[in-house]
Structure 1
Amino acid sequence: MYSIGETAKLVGLSAYTLRYYEKEKIIRPPRNDNGERMFDARHIDWLKFVIRLKATQMPIAQIRKYTELFLEGEHTAPQRLKLLQNHQVFIQEQLLNLTNVENELQHKIENYEKLTARSVK
């Protein structure tokens, strides 16, 4: 079992963020006799997944919904699947947008490289 500080270090988040996730019902760590939050390996794995979802810009509300569905049990698998599929479409759109912007930047960079190469001569 890990304290909130240890867990924060393990997953690369602040204790404040872990408290926020608890408030948002994204994590639900048990408390010891002193009222301190205690995290185990399952919490660590879950937090790593949440971090990946956040990195792909999944809103907290969607992460909370996914968490609720997960905790309800296996009968919610179709709903969880749909939620993740929708998010995957969002990610694919973002990737396409980023690829287009990267291509534009590459074109600009090549033009500036040619321009500066001529200036140096």
Structure 2
Amino acid sequence: MYTISEIAKVVDISAHTLRYYEKEGIIDPIRNESGIRQFDEQHVQWLKFVKKLRETQMPVSQIKEYTRLFLEGEHTASARFRLIEDHQQYIRDQIDILLTTDEMLTKKVATYKELMQKSLS
């Protein structure tokens, strides 16, 4: 079991973010008899997944919706599938944009290098 500060380090997110996720219903920590939050390995895996979703710009509202659907049970699998599939397409679209932008910038860099070489001559 992890305390809030321990799991924050393991997952590399702030304790403040963990409290926010709890408030939003994205995570439901175990409470010991003293009311102190505790987290297990399932929480670690879930938070790593949530962190990746946030890193790839999934809005908290969609993560909340995914969480709600997950907690409702297996009959929501198709809705969860669509949500994740849509996000995957968003990521792929962003990758395409980044790749074409990188190509454009590579050409610009080459142009400037050539220009600077000529000015040194």
> What's the % identity of the aligned pairs?
51
Residue aligning to 2:114: 114
SS of aligned partner of 2:31: coil
- Structure 1 unaligned blocks of 5 or more: none
Deviation at 1:34, TM superposition (A): 1.2
SS state of the match for residue 27, structure 2? coil
2:38 aligned counterpart, secondary structure: coil
TM-score (norm 2): 0.97
State the Cα distance separating 1:68 from its structure 2 match. Answer: 0.8
Q: Distance in 1 between matches of 2:8 and 2:60?
A: 18
The aligned residue for residue 27 of structure 1 is: 27
What secondary structure does 1:110 align onto?
Answer: helix
CA deviation vs aligned residue, 1:88-117 (integer Å, no higher than 9, x gap): 111111111111211111111010010111
SS in 2 for 1:20: helix
Match of 2:98 in 1: 98
1:76 aligned partner: 76
Name the SS for the 1:63 alignment partner.
Answer: helix
Relative to the length of structure 1, the TM-score reads 0.97
RMSD: 0.8
Q: Which sections of structure 2, spanning at least 5 residues, go unmatched? A: none
2:9 is aligned to 9
Distance across 2 between alignment mates of 1:120 and 1:74: 67
Q: Match for 1:9: what amino acid?
A: K
